[in-house]
Structure 1
Amino acid sequence: MKADFASHMRLVGHSDQGGRADGVQLMVHNGYAYIGHMFSKGFSVVDVRDPSKPNTVAYVPAPANTWNIHLQTHDDLLLVINAKDMFAASEFQDEREYYQGALGSKVGTAEAAGRERNWTSGLAVYDISKGNTPRQIGFMPIDGGGIHRVWYVGGRWAYASALIDGFSDYIFITIDMSDPTRPREAGRFWLPGMNLARAESPSWPASRRNGLHHPIVHGDLAYCAWRDAGLVVLDVADRTAPKLVTHRNWSPPFGGGTHNCLPLPGRDLLVVLDEAVLDHQEDGEKFIWMFDVRDPANPVSISTFPQPDEIDYVRKPGHFGPHNLHENRPGSFVSETLIFATYQNAGVRVFDTRDPYRPQEVGAYVPPQPDRLMDHRPNRANVIQSCDVFVDANGLIYSTDYNGGLYILEFDGLR
């Protein structure tokens, strides 16, 4: 398999994930990759103990009309989100409809009466002590569209974005995992204007997606990517009553879609990624930003990362721009200077941030055109859309693609 472009990176192995070559979030744990699917439903398990020969060993189907696109692993637990399968729904076949306006109203969760709910919503917990055979042991239901993404690195607390009846979009919730067979919601936070059930009125234009994508929690601070509302920092010392520390938004004039907020605590820095969500930069140019957060109540943007430019990716079919970051999870490769990101039709990128005012690209890998199109929505091109990236403790890079399967890569800057 010859890359369309490679710089200081090489392919180690590739998998079509048992014919389900669409992938969203992945976790690598004890020699197995757990991969949520965007279009094939459910999630797959790939044995990557020999990274040059990844082998799909299990597939767990999703409930009807439900997607399992995001998941987390720690110790012998796997947490898998359950939510309405948005991209199978008729109302979201035009992708623009998913990324604009109050999502709760569109899926019938803000005014649930009279709307059929034919999907499963909540959080499923699996025992993965036998890595190739996940066994469900618990489930936390929620009333609404479901959970979008979770942050869990062990212990009592998990954190998630949840689309709950009565709210305009996804809000922040804390989850008590002290009994993994019975996870339960413990606290919640939303931006003023989101609680429609309490007759709150949004202060933002109706076309905007002011909903939480997900948090990353370090200590007692939750760094929340709130899509078109930007960065929200919460004090979660009391997990039952999260409190606002600060809210910063740079959209407009920039295009919104904030997707990841990755703290680099040893340097008092925060990497913030805005997701490109439409083709040909129809939603504007999106950036990865570096913030100085030595005062968490006053984050200051100090730089942006360079954009891939070896070809005109804006004209290439599909989305061009940032999507996901490797999030320095415990047990994975953790670096406060090297940042790994996916850029959709521009593949996987590695950045050196030793000078936080001038991040530099030091590695890149752009896979070739996929063998077949997995995206079933109308008018989609058969093109790579590099989605998530995970770097294991040995420095191997794993990246999923909406169409192209799992790529296992090596970066020569780690040798």
Structure 2
Amino acid sequence: MAQTKNTSLISHIDCPGGGQVWCDGNTLYVSHMRPPHGTSAYDITDPRNPKHLFTLEIPMGWHSHKVRVQDGIMIVNYEKFREGAPDFGGGLGIYDVSTPSKPRLISKWQVTGQGGGVHRFSFDGRYAYISPTEAGFVGNIVKILDLADPASPQEVGRWWIPGQNVAAGEHYPWDNFVMPRCHHPLREGNRLYVSYWHHGFFILDIEDMARPKLVAAVNSSPAHPHPTHTAMPMPGLIKGRKILVVADEDVAKLRPSPPAFTWFYDITDERQPMPISTFQVDGVDIDGSPRPPMEGCHQPSERLTGTSIIPFAWFAKGLRLIDIADPFRPKEVGFYEPDAPEGYTQPQSNDVTLDSRGLIYLLDRQQGVDIIQTNVF
């Protein structure tokens, strides 16, 4: 039986597992982890009875495991996933979903060269902030695309860690370490908050989007074994401070280690981010012993309620609701810990988001979406 606190299950969608969920109005979009399943949509007008609208397929050898929708435009990623269909090409699929049951491909934006494609991105209705591979560069970089005309996306700006642009002759200093890899950028105002895997996170000034400027950089690797998955600013101030949520992902460990957790940084002085607290789910790290991957932290919801409560996807522990009203002492105020999907040994909660009603959508990367309500918001 699922374990709960201040939460209850409304309904379950039995669908292939995925990487991201996103709500736009009364439509839920699910990006799947494994081909041939690409992206699906469900009518959630009645959240107790979701209705399937469509599923887009993806060629073998690629996956389309991220999705964002705004103002009738849906963006999905295309990224290499094992072998197959080499001519398909990585990048973004841009769709008209103004009629959610009838998606229409507007354009496909492709990365240069034969790289892996786009891993993850955010989208504000005009600009897409993406993490593509790029010919001549090692790993993924930061790129900003203007989708004012979604049929013809235009690059506005790009940024990378010096050393990634080997084609330009930059010295590459990481021969004995994990290559740099932008995971994804998140925008707030004229700042981009960029997670960079085992190279930490960066704060960029994008007042001039054509020329992003470095404001600050923090990296806990290699002392800390887990990669930085998300760097997300909390809206407004909490206890008079600007807070950045920095989630490490419990995969790709540099060495055997306990499960990953999340950090909270004070970025009131953004030039010098200061870690002020961490959070780990009770019972996940019992005695500091190494554990297999995918038991600890994955990521927070990138859509928030305006409160100090953050929904988190914790791989083997489902949904966690973390209150940072006191950012020095995060506390758990609710959770929904699902059973493992049939045929699996544990949950792998991969993403979580909210709709305008405050309902929570928890996606398992193996199978299914849980629709959950809570009384803590």
Q: Settle same-fold status: TM greater than 0.5.
A: yes
Q: Which residue pairs with 1:15 in the alignment?
A: 13
Give the counterpart letter for 1:151 in structure 2. Answer: S
Give the counterpart letter for 1:324 in structure 2. Answer: Q
Q: Which residue pairs with 1:122 in the alignment?
A: 91
Q: Which residue pairs with 1:53 in the alignment?
A: 49
> Does 2:269 correspond to 1:286?
no
Distance 1:311 1:192 in 2: 36
Q: Which moved more, 1:196-205 or 1:257-266?
A: 196-205
Note the C-alpha offset of 1:63.
3.7
Q: Which residue pairs with 1:385 in the alignment?
A: 348
Distance 1:388 1:395 in 2: 16
Residues 158 and 347 (structure 1 numbering): CA distance in 2 closer, same or farther, change over 3 Å? same
Note the C-alpha offset of 1:138.
1.8
Give the counterpart letter for 2:371 in structure 1. Answer: I
* 1:27-73 deviations in Å (ceiling 9; x for gaps): 11121111111114311112222111223221101144221111111
> Does 2:179 correspond to 1:179?
no
3-state SS of the aligned residue for 1:413? coil
Give the counterpart letter for 1:257 in structure 2. Answer: P
Q: Which residue pairs with 2:24 in the alignment?
A: 29
Distance 2:285 2:192 in 1: 37
Give the counterpart letter for 2:299 in structure 1. Answer: N
Q: Which residue pairs with 2:305 in the alignment?
A: 334
Note the C-alpha offset of 1:147.
0.9
Give the counterpart letter for 2:212 in structure 1. Answer: P
Residues 302 and 311 (structure 1 numbering): CA distance in 2 closer, same or farther, change over 3 Å? closer
> Does 2:288 correspond to 1:325?
no
Residues 205 and 275 (structure 1 numbering): CA distance in 2 closer, same or farther, change over 3 Å? farther
Distance 1:364 1:317 in 2: 22
> Does 2:179 correspond to 1:200?
no
Give the counterpart letter for 2:313 in structure 1. Answer: T
RMSD: 2.2
Instruction: Check conservation: 2:259, 2:284, Cα contact below 8 A.
Output: no
Q: Which residue pairs with 1:62 in the alignment?
A: 58
Residues 188 and 310 (structure 1 numbering): CA distance in 2 closer, same or farther, change over 3 Å? closer
Q: Which residue pairs with 1:370 in the alignment?
A: 341
Distance 1:250 1:190 in 2: 19
Q: Which residue pairs with 1:301 in the alignment?
A: 275
* 1:193-230 deviations in Å (ceiling 9; x for gaps): 11121232333353414211001100110000111011
5+ residue gaps, structure 2: none
Distance 1:158 1:187 in 2: 11
3-state SS of the aligned residue for 2:230? strand
Note the C-alpha offset of 1:335.
2.4
Give the counterpart letter for 2:26 in structure 1. Answer: G
Note the C-alpha offset of 1:278.
5.3
Number of corresponding residues? 368
Give the counterpart letter for 2:206 in structure 1. Answer: V
Note the C-alpha offset of 1:261.
1.0
> Does 2:321 correspond to 1:350?
yes
Distance 1:56 1:372 in 2: 23
- 5 Å-filtered alignment, 1:152-191, equals 152-155=123-126, 157-191=127-161
Q: Which residue pairs with 2:39 in the alignment?
A: 43
| TM score, norm. by length of structure 2 | 0.91
Distance 1:315 1:206 in 2: 23
> Does 2:189 correspond to 1:215?
no
Distance 1:325 1:203 in 2: 32
| TM score, norm. by length of structure 1 | 0.83
Instruction: Check conservation: 2:25, 2:356, Cα contact below 8 A.
Output: no
Give the counterpart letter for 2:186 in structure 1. Answer: I
1:395 to 358, 365, 369: 358
Distance 1:171 1:273 in 2: 19
Residues 311 and 217 (structure 1 numbering): CA distance in 2 closer, same or farther, change over 3 Å? closer
Q: Which residue pairs with 1:105 in the alignment?
A: none
Give the counterpart letter for 1:215 in structure 2. Answer: P
* 1:91-116 deviations in Å (ceiling 9; x for gaps): xxxxxxxxxxxxxxxxxxxxxxxxx9
Distance 2:108 2:174 in 1: 34
Q: Which residue pairs with 1:238 in the alignment?
A: 208
Identity of aligned residues (%): 32
Residues 31 and 219 (structure 1 numbering): CA distance in 2 closer, same or farther, change over 3 Å? same
Give the counterpart letter for 1:59 in structure 2. Answer: T
1:271 to 236, 242, 245: 245
* 1:69-100 deviations in Å (ceiling 9; x for gaps): 11111110101111212xx349xxxxxxxxxx
3-state SS of the aligned residue for 2:19? coil
Distance 1:202 1:179 in 2: 37
Distance 1:394 1:351 in 2: 19
Distance 2:368 2:291 in 1: 20
3-state SS of the aligned residue for 1:185? strand
Residues 137 and 369 (structure 1 numbering): CA distance in 2 closer, same or farther, change over 3 Å? same
Residues 310 and 140 (structure 1 numbering): CA distance in 2 closer, same or farther, change over 3 Å? closer
5+ residue gaps, structure 1: 91-115, 374-381
Instruction: Check conservation: 2:299, 2:313, Cα contact below 8 A.
Output: yes
